[in-house]
Amino acid sequence: MTEPVDTGRGAVEEAPGVPFDDVRLDVEGPVATITLNRPSALNALTIPMKEHLLDVLGRVGADRAVRAVVLTGAGRAFCAGQDLRERLEPGAPPLGEELALRYNPIVRALRTIPQPVIAAVNGVAAGAGASIAFACDLRIAAESASFVLAFGRIGLVPDSGATWTLPRLVGAGRAAEIALLGDPVSAADALRIGLVSRVVRGEELAAEAAAMAVRLAAGAPLAMTLTKRALGATFERDLDAALAAEAEAQERAGSSRDHAEGLAAFIEKRAPRFTGE
Ligand code: T3D
């Protein structure tokens, strides 16, 4: 089922063990948990950290054994976006180049890896950190979480896909208010406007995200991937195109072994055992 993932650095074919201090990868059974791990700077993203995140997403996306992904942050924040101190260093790349080289490939990888990705938003998600959460398929937040499109405060515009994802998640009017005013959106408000699908107590977040990931991982992988892709393309299609795309995807899913297994399990009144074939 799993196809190599194009992270903009060529396809990654396999997923050997891992690798980095600032981006951790923990794989437990079919669930991969990626943790942004620079808590002293609220997981603000440096160039190496972005490279590492991209690398890890490539590995995970290419790993057929991984069927669901959780992305979270270490410490009290999810991610504070670009490391602003790094931007002041001599030789910092131009912003447009940095987006093209690193941020945009991260967003594309999140959108295109075959597995569903849950953002477990454990605290503040600011700037590109919010954009990265928006690019995930699902968002669960801790009560202490918030989303801040902090770009305007430093004279920048929302990037890393936020102008594309946010209106799709909450509608154009709310997106405009969040982007233009830049006020933090609390977890409670995020739930109310559909920016997150669940809010839980901080100490329950990891378990809640893991439980959701385990449920996703128990699904038929091909059907999960095709569903993710269909939902991701929905705003680009009219009804006829969506109906045609559903029929094509259903043809593929319907000819899989997993569909046969799902039917057999229903008739035999047992849980299905999906293999991804
Ligand atoms: O390449 C490009 O630049 C293009 C791409 C741009 C994408 C972007 O993400 S632009 C937006 C960048 N992010 C921000 O503007 C957010 C900046 N941070 C904040 O506004 C606040 O820190 C938060 C609202 C996120 C949290 O506030 P608070 O009061 O809870 O924490 P704090 O005290 O401000 O931060 C704690 C520490 O983290 C502090 O370090 P210190 O003083 O204890 O040594 C602070 O400097 C550090 N930190 C927080 N955010 C960043 C950061 N360090 C570097 N870069 C950050 N973005």
Is the predicted pLDDT of residue 100 greater than 50, yes or no?
A: yes
Cα–ligand 1 centroid distance for 44 (angstroms): 6
Q: Which pLDDT does position 2 carry in this prediction? A: 37
Is the predicted pLDDT of residue 89 greater than 50, yes or no?
A: yes
Asked whether 187 and 145 are in contact (CB, 8 A), the reply is: yes
Q: What is the mean pLDDT of residues 159-172?
A: 98
Q: Which pLDDT does position 6 carry in this prediction? A: 41
Q: What is the mean pLDDT of residues 165-182?
A: 97
Is the predicted pLDDT of residue 13 greater than 90, yes or no?
A: no
Closest-CA residue, ligand 1 atom 11, reads 127
Q: Which pLDDT does position 18 carry in this prediction? A: 67
Is the predicted pLDDT of residue 174 greater than 70, yes or no?
A: yes
Closest-CA residue, ligand 1 atom 20, reads 150
Q: Which pLDDT does position 96 carry in this prediction? A: 96
Q: Which pLDDT does position 10 carry in this prediction? A: 43
Q: Which pLDDT does position 4 carry in this prediction? A: 41
What share of the chain has pLDDT > 90, as a percent? 92
Domains along the sequence of the chain with CATH:
13-217 (3.90.226.10), 221-268 (1.10.12)
* Tens-place pLDDT, residues 113-138: 999 999 999 999 999 999 999 999 99
> Got the DSSP string for the chain?
----EE-SS-EE--------SSEEEEEETTEEEEEE--GGGTTPBPHHHHHHHHHHHHHHHH-TT--EEEEEESTTEEE--B-HHHHTSTTPPPHHHHIIIIIHHHHHHHHHSSS-EEEEE-SEEETHHHHHHHHSSEEEEETT-EEE-TTGGGT----TTHHHHHHHHH-HHHHHHHHHH-PPEEHHHHHHTTS-SEEE-GGGHHHHHHHHHHHHHTS-HHHHHHHHHHHHHGGG--HHHHHHHHHHHHHHHHTSHHHHHHHHHHHTTS-------
CA atoms of 186 and 193, how far apart (whole Å): 11
- Is the minimum distance from the CB of 156 to ligand 1 under 6 angstroms? yes
Average pLDDT of the chain? 94
* Tens-place pLDDT, residues 59-77: 999 999 999 999 999 999 9
Is the predicted pLDDT of residue 199 greater than 70, yes or no?
A: yes
* Tens-place pLDDT, residues 216-260: 999 999 999 999 999 999 999 999 999 999 999 999 999 999 999
Q: Which two tokens stand for residue 96?
A: 């447009």
Centre a 10 Å sphere on the Cβ of residue 246 and count the other Cβ atoms it contains: 14
Q: What is the mean pLDDT of residues 75-99?
A: 96
For the CA of 76, the closest atom of ligand 1 is 30
Is the predicted pLDDT of residue 17 greater than 60, yes or no?
A: no
Is the predicted pLDDT of residue 11 greater than 90, yes or no?
A: no
For the CA of 87, the closest atom of ligand 1 is 3
What share of the chain has pLDDT > 70, as a percent? 93
Q: Which pLDDT does position 158 carry in this prediction? A: 98
Is the predicted pLDDT of residue 9 greater than 60, yes or no?
A: no
For the CA of 128, the closest atom of ligand 1 is 9
Q: What is the largest CA-CA distance in the chain?
A: 66
Cα–ligand 1 centroid distance for 243 (angstroms): 44
Q: Which pLDDT does position 265 carry in this prediction? A: 97
Q: Which residue out of 38, 40, 42, 82 has the highest number of ligand 1 atoms within 8 Å of its CB and is therefore the one to mutate?
A: 42
Look up the pTM and report it. 0.94
Q: Which residues does residue 11 pair with via DSSP β-bridges, in sequence order?
A: 6
- Per the listing, tokens 């849980």 go with 271
* Tens-place pLDDT, residues 179-190: 999 999 999 999
